[in-house]
Structure 1
Amino acid sequence: MTDDITPTADGAEVSPDEAAGRARLSRRGLLGLAIGGGVAGLALGGVGGYALGAARVGEHDAGTPYAFFGAHQAGITTPVQEHLHFAAFDMMPRSDRDDLIELLQDWTYASARMTQGLEVSATGAVGGPAEQPPDDTGEALGLPASHLTVTIGFGPTLFENEDGDRYGIRDRRPPLLQKLPPFLGDDLDPASSGGDLCIQVCADDPQVAVHAIRNLSRIAFGRAKLRWSQLGFGKTSRTTAQQQTPRNLFGFKDGTANILADDTAGLATHVWVASGDGADWMAGGSYLVARKIAMLIETWDRVQLGEQERIIGRDKGQGAPLSGGEEATAPDFSSAAIDTASHVRLAHAAQNDGVRILRRGFNYVDGNNTLGRLDAGLFFLSYQRSPEQFIALQRTLSTDLLNEYIRHVGSGLWAVPPGAAEGSYVGAPLFA
């Protein structure tokens, strides 16, 4: 497919101008919004592109909204926000190719509006008839866009599962998109792992993030159902030099050596899929790994400070490597001050043949577990050009001293396609 042609659900091809002219939620998307009231088919009045001309949700925007359309999906190199709502979905058993394409078009339409501080449709939460369910759930009314980003990914089972090639895309599956292999120490819960599709929503306001997933889930009704989700707070990585390195729930700075948004060479080498990587429709995209990592908080809190620093390999206060210097100082792994099994040594690119990943994680606290301890930890998200980068790092970390205090309890891998052009939708090149 060329850049100036957009496929539709019925297989026809239209130009961006034609696609823009018909941009609106599909009837199925409207049905999802209206479930409970028994009414479908509300008029949305789209005007050109994914029309963003309606009134904003809030009068005052907290900073410039991030663009939804572009060469890459937002939410990867975008400055990491403070809050996360991550959701994995499974397509419904009797859904077909048209359902999948239409769902992606509907998600694109609604996401493009919400990321600009708009409601999911022109009718919104309060502009429709009183006898019909509103299009938008309304909890974000009066709130700014809060740097909302929506990032969509495709799991291995979307291309083929026990029911076979459901959507006629098996031969378009990237060779690298396979279920992650088991790793030492995995204690994965199937109910918090995998999924045909995923949506990563990040925002600086938790209510804005929850609003996005809530409404995208409604729109998916009848075509996809929520498999599992995770709320996160307090970013544990940075993607710009202007952001300070945040701390995880163990109290240590996390992601000091992360790939930053202005490192174009690093992104090209380690994050963005190239056209010769095995699936041309993925060029400009990336692979997303999500790992829910439970931290044994109470056990860690009884460990002496010096031992904590030995395990991590960095000073707890400033984040400097134990070999000396400041936080940004390159660790000297020839120094006896850094344990050979410390986390910083085993995770460092210098010890992994130059392998790097872009981290984008968040803390989570899900209340208490059955033992009365904090159910808390790190929701680890990483983007890489190939899943093999994550696999190599995770295998190296099998001897990490930190493993005594963490458990990997959830996991997933998704192909994140490139960004959509205005008038098109996320994933359109896959169906060309």
Structure 2
Amino acid sequence: MTKDETFFEQKMDRREFLKKAGIGGAGLALGLSGASAFFATKTDEAEKISDGDEKIRFYGKHQAGITTAMQKNIYFVVLDLHTTDKDKIIQLFKDWTDYSAKLVEGELVKKDGSNALLPPTDTGETVGLNPHRLTLTFGVSADFLKKMGLESKRPKLFRDLPPFPKEQLQDKYTGGDIAIQACADDEQVAFHAIRNLIRKGRNSITMKWSQSGFAAIGNRLETPRNLFGFKDGTANVTKESDFDQVVWTDSKDWMKDGSYMAVRRIQMHLETWDRTNLQEQENTFGRYKDSGAPFGKKNEFDEVDLSLLPVDSHVRLAKEVDKPIYRRSYSYSDGIDETTGQFDSGLLFISYQKDPDSFVKVQTNLGADDKMNEYITHIGSGLFACFAGVEKGGYLGQDLFE
């Protein structure tokens, strides 16, 4: 069992814990955080996670960064192939495996030689820093399989996301061949990792788009709030047995023990939201803003009674589908939108699920009826197959390429 798995198995059910502790909280709301990162009894392992000193392994049954306790920062990048030479791409994934194993340990990707007239191998901006719980998670798209002549290996579950109502996707934030998610409790550590991976692969890949983000992780016993001011991230499962049911694939192919990553770049219209009265804000979510409790209840983790929620509320429409997904999303703020003069802010929504259809069904049910659509616009989208973990001596995606 990995340390990630042990951490979650050591914890009592977080809902029961918070009920007993009398801590309030909130709901599903945009899926902003992955609440398993925030709720734990104060074991030594939990203290290490809270302090950013938890030891993260790159090698293991599953890729880290999926059910790993959530970090404060993300740097996410989507890449396009610059070559379809299979040998070159295999070597790239081998190089990335070697680099990643060192990066999560806080090591240089490679020590420099004695010739000072050559550029340093590692860019060096994390020298003196610990790895701050860095995780690196890799996935490939269906287009990647087509371009690489691997279409025959595409799992039946793995198909492009369908169009959804109200979305206004922009080409620059949509599609792509490879996704890399770097998460850490220090933003410079996350960026450094992506920077060095890209640098190593510059002859084989080009960058399509990237996004940095943050999560309001302070006291990990409390649910963080999203940019709309609502507590967020209640619905995630926390036990390894539940991860098997929700997150990890059990297919008899190269995706066994991997997971499917759905990505949405969601613009949040903060100025419109800020002019909306409190009652209407709460009606939009179906939860009370202060406590996070569902309508008609007192505590965050009280069972949701759908009949008490507005028919167009976000929580009701999401929950009535009964298709659990595992959310691991981050807020972003990219300055000012030059067209509108307003904040260019929103949510980098990331969810993991063993079957992409779970995400599709939830998003379809939200559809045109979700009252949240008055305050958000989906402008980016992608679906990526994240490999299983890597055993020592192997490399990322090995079962796919062989």
Q: Does 1:266 align with 2:242?
A: yes
Return the offset for 1:174: 1.6
After TM superposition, the structure 1 stretch with the greater mean CA deviation from structure 2, 226-235 or 78-87, is: 226-235
TM-aligned CA distance change 1:98 to 1:243, over 3 Å: farther
Q: Does 1:135 align with 2:108?
A: no
- Among 390, 396, 406, the residue aligned to 2:376: 406
Equivalent residue runs for 1:71-220 within 5 Å: 71-92=61-82, 94-123=83-112, 128-160=114-146, 166-220=147-201
- Among 63, 67, 78, the residue aligned to 2:53: 63
- Among 235, 241, 244, the residue aligned to 2:222: 244
Matches of 1:154 and 1:128, distance apart in 2: 37
Aligned match of 2:387: 417
What letter corresponds to residue 379 of structure 2 in structure 1? V
Aligned match of 2:271: 298
Greater relative contact order, per chain length (Cα 8 Å cut-off, separation 6+): 2
Aligned match of 2:396: 426
Q: TM-score, normalised by structure 2?
A: 0.84
Matches of 2:228 and 2:99, distance apart in 1: 37
What letter corresponds to residue 208 of structure 2 in structure 1? R
Matches of 1:359 and 1:431, distance apart in 2: 29
Q: Give secondary structure in 2 for the equivalent of 1:281.
A: coil
CA contact (8 A) 1:323 1:333 kept: no
RMSD: 1.7
Return the offset for 1:307: 0.9
Return the offset for 1:247: 1.1
Return the offset for 1:82: 0.4
Instruction: Point out the structure with max Rg over C-alpha.
Output: 1
Q: Does 1:320 align with 2:288?
A: no
CA contact (8 A) 2:111 2:122 kept: no
Q: Does 1:386 align with 2:393?
A: no
Return the offset for 1:243: 4.7
Return the offset for 1:151: 0.2
What letter corresponds to residue 414 of structure 1 in structure 2? F
Return the offset for 1:325: 2.1
Larger helix share, 1 or 2: 2
Return the offset for 1:253: 1.1
Matches of 1:245 and 1:102, distance apart in 2: 42
Return the offset for 1:129: 2.2
Matches of 1:128 and 1:357, distance apart in 2: 50
Where structure 2 has 5 or more consecutive residues not aligned to the other structure, the ranges are: 1-50
What letter corresponds to residue 359 of structure 1 in structure 2? R
Deviations 1:202-257 (A, max 9, x none): 00000000101111110011111111100001159x9xx96532111000011211
CA contact (8 A) 2:327 2:349 kept: yes
Matches of 2:149 and 2:263, distance apart in 1: 26
Aligned match of 1:360: 328
What letter corresponds to residue 212 of structure 1 in structure 2? A
Q: Give secondary structure in 2 for the equivalent of 1:282.
A: coil
Return the offset for 1:73: 0.1
Aligned match of 2:28: none
| Aligned length, in residue pairs | 350
Aligned match of 2:25: none
Deviations 1:135-192 (A, max 9, x none): 00111111110000000001111111xxxxx433121112222221110011111111
Equivalent residue runs for 1:35-50 within 5 Å: none
CA contact (8 A) 2:72 2:184 kept: yes
Deviations 1:356-379 (A, max 9, x none): 000000000011102110000110
TM-aligned CA distance change 1:128 to 1:330, over 3 Å: farther
Matches of 1:62 and 1:264, distance apart in 2: 22
Deviations 1:296-327 (A, max 9, x none): 00000000011101111111111111121200
- Among 226, 230, 242, the residue aligned to 2:211: 230
Q: Give secondary structure in 2 for the equivalent of 1:423.
A: coil
